[in-house]
Each structure stands twice: as C-alpha cells, then as structure tokens.
C-alpha cells in the first residue's frame, strides 16, 4: 500500500463523520453534508419528488428518502450499481443519455420534480486543469438536467470545486433561480476545494 493511501486510510478511519455515519446507519459521511444543507435551506419536504444524480453509494438518496416520506418520490441515477434503499427508485445509466432520461420519465409518471441534487465528482487524474474541466462538465450536466426537469419554484443542489470556471458556473445558476447560496458544510474536509451551489425557486 502506498504512503498516500495509508495516510488516507488512517484519516478515514479516525474521521468523526465516518464514525458517526457508521453508528447512525448512514451509507456515507457525505450524508451529513446534505443534512446540513437541507436544514439550512429548508429543502426536501414531505411529499416532494427528488432526483439524485450520481447517487451511488446512496448516502444522499438515503437522506432525502427519509425527508420526503409518505407520497414523496426519490429517483436515484448512477452509472454504478447501488444497493437497494427503501422508498428509492434506482436507475442505472448515464443521465445524459436519452434511454436513461426515458426511464426517469417513466418513473416520474408526469409528477413534477421539486428538487435535483448532485454530489458527483470526477475520477481524479492529478492534473489540476483536467480535473477541473471534468468537474465543470459534470456540474453543467446536472444543471442542464435541473433546468429541464425542475418545476417552477423547484430547487437544486450541485457539488462544485473552486477553480477555473467556478465563478462563471455560479453566474449561470443565478440566472435561473431567484436565490443562490454557496454552502461549505462542516463535513466537507478543510483541505477540499469543494463547495455546494444551492439554487432556490427556479424561474420559469
């Protein structure tokens, strides 16, 4: 095992959010990022329809499925397999491809989407400019999906990374939502450049 991987494993095992996720039954420490954002911005109400893009391993889907309850609906989409979760409809595929969108629309069955969430991040190459371009592409794809499927007044949460293109992307989101907040949850590691854009009340 490389020194870098050993250091990561040691940090992961001692991470308080990892320990808390294990003790509370969450699939991922990332669950705490979304929990904080949902509470800050009053998102994911009972009865709401939520689409989780890049959902595996299911930490965010697990959170929203508990928030929407009752007649709410959660659709999780990912290229990777994801173990089943109660009250979550999982679709394996690329949401940028039409056959996957067709599957999403079938599950929606004409219900309007109130919230789109995306915790997607690219596979890291180590080349900063390449990694930033890959992130930006994922963020833009998630934003395009939200613009297409969100109802008027709906909201979006998209993971982002500071760097080239981030400011312009924030401006794009601002043009489609009445309010936009930048969130850096406590569960985001200090060294990470990640942040989350929250767009509230989509403009029709």
Bond preceding residue 57 cis, omega within 30 of 0: yes
Query: CA 85 to CA 28: how far, in whole Å?
Result: 13
* Helical (H) or strand (E) element with 74: strand 73-78
Q: Give the count of beta carbons closer than 10 Å to the beta carbon of residue 168.
A: 9
Residues across the chain: 204
Is the CB of residue 106 less than 8 Å from the CB of residue 84?
no
Active site residue 159: yes
Is the CB of residue 44 less than 8 Å from the CB of residue 66?
no
Token reading at 106? 């079938």
Catalytic residue among 159, 174, 179, 202: 159
**Ramachandran quadrant class, 66 (left: phi over 0; alpha: psi -120 to 50; beta: rest):** alpha
What are the catalytic residues?
159
């Amino acid at each position: 095992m490389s020194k870098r991987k050993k250091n990561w494993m040691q940090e992961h095992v001692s991470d308080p959010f990892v320990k808390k996720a294990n003790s509370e039954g969450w699939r991922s420490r990332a669950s705490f990022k979304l929990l904080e954002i949902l509470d800050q911005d009053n998102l994911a109400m009972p009865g709401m329809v939520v689409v989780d893009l890049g959902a595996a391993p299911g930490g965010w889907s697990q959170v929203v499925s508990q928030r929407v309850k009752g007649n709410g609906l959660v659709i999780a989409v990912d290229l990777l397999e994801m173990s089943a979760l109660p009250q979550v409809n999982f679709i394996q595929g690329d949401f940028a491809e039409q056959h996957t969108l067709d599957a999403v629309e079938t599950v929606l069955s004409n219900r309007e989407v109130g919230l789109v969430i995306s915790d997607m991040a690219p596979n890291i190459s180590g080349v900063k400019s390449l990694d930033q371009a890959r992130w930006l592409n994922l963020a833009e794809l998630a934003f395009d999906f939200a613009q297409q499927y969100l109802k008027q007044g709906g909201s979006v949460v998209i993971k982002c990374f500071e760097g080239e293109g981030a400011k312009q992307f924030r401006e794009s989101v601002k043009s489609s939502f009445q309010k936009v907040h930048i969130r850096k949850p406590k569960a985001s590691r200090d060294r990470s450049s990640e942040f989350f854009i929250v767009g509230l009340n989509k403009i029709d």
